[in-house]
Structure 1
Amino acid sequence: MSALRDALSDLPDAVFADLLESETAYLLVLDLPGVTAETAELRIEKGRLVVEARRDKQLPAEFDYVREERPLFLDAEVPLPPDAVADEAEASMERGTLEIRLPKREAASERTIPITTGDEDA
């Protein structure tokens, strides 16, 4: 999971990210002001979560940018934890906050493994 944590620290300064973990899932929370579900896209490609988002800014016609502190686009890739189940990922967006839930793969149940010997046929 440290690769995911490191990737989140490399996101642009304008993006705030929280990573939470429970016994059954990871929860990635991204604050993306001005982004809506319609202007964001999430994909999983080759073990990585790809986040593409753009802000929907409505500018008055009489104004032009002199300086822009908040970029319009986010294009980020973060590695998935090895125990995340990508096929069951869920996401929701509310008021510019994107939450991505990645369930964890269940650990193999504990059991005793019988050991056979070569002289079983004798």
Structure 2
Amino acid sequence: MSTLRDALSSLPDAVFADLLESDEEYLLVLDLPGVTAETADLRVENGRLVIEARRDKRLPTEFEYVREERPLFLDAEVPLPPDALGDEAAASIDRGVLEIHLPKRSKAGERTIPITSAEGDEGTSSARQETSGDVDEDA
């Protein structure tokens, strides 16, 4: 995940990004003022999240720019964490705040594998045998 964190820090200064993590997913939150669902494109390519966004600028005809701080376009590629499921990602945008949900692979497939003896003596390889110095005289 550190490569994703590093990639987010290299985004333009005008883009604020938060990265959150739960047991089930990652949540990437990007502040993209002026961007709408119609002016943004989001896709997964070769293990990378590709974000392309543009914001509409409506400049009144009687004005011209003296100084412009925020770029019109954002083209960014950030690596997906190794346990993220890019194919199951979902995104939404509300008032220029883009939220990208990246589910994690389930750990449900993890289990302990029993080991058996090569001689066919099943169950004895992991069993611990204990002997006691006490002798039961009634036996």
Identity %: 78
- For 2:107, the aligned partner's letter is A
Q: Distance in 2 between matches of 1:11 and 1:96?
A: 16
Please, what TM-score do these two structures have when normalized by structure 1?
Answer: 0.92
Q: Point out which structure has higher relative CO (alpha carbons under 8 A, 6+ apart).
A: 1
Residue 52 in structure 1 maps to residue 34 in structure 2: no
Give how far 1:110 is off.
Answer: 3.9
Q: Which residue of structure 1 lines up, in the alignment, with residue 27 of structure 2?
A: 27
* Unaligned residue ranges in structure 2 (runs of 5+): 121-139
Pair 1:93 & 2:89 matched: no
Report which stretch shifted further, 23-32 or 61-70.
Answer: 61-70
SS in 2 for 1:33: coil
Q: How much has 1:117 moved relative to structure 2? A: 5.3
Aligned to 1:12: 12
Letter in 1 for 2:2: S
- Which segment drifts farther, 51-60 or 106-115? 106-115
The answer to whether residue 104 in structure 2 is matched with residue 104 in structure 1 is yes
Corresponding residue for 1:67?
67
Q: Which amino acid aligns with 1:39?
A: T
TM-score, scaled relative to structure 2: 0.81
CA shift digits 1:16-72 (9 cap, x unpaired): 000000000000000000100100000100000000000111110121212110100
**Alpha-carbon separation, structure 2, partners of 1:111 and 1:23:** 18
Which consecutive segments of 4 or more residues in structure 1 shift more than 2 A? 108-112, 114-120
In the alignment, residue 26 of structure 2 is paired with which amino acid?
Y
Give the CA deviation at 1:119: 4.7
Equivalent position amino acid for 2:40 in 1: A
Between the aligned partners of 1:20 and 1:111, the Cα distance in structure 2 is 28
2: distance between equivalents of 1:37 and 1:111?
42
Query: Could you say which structure has the higher strand fraction?
Result: 1
Q: What is the one-letter code of the residue matched to 2:75?
A: D
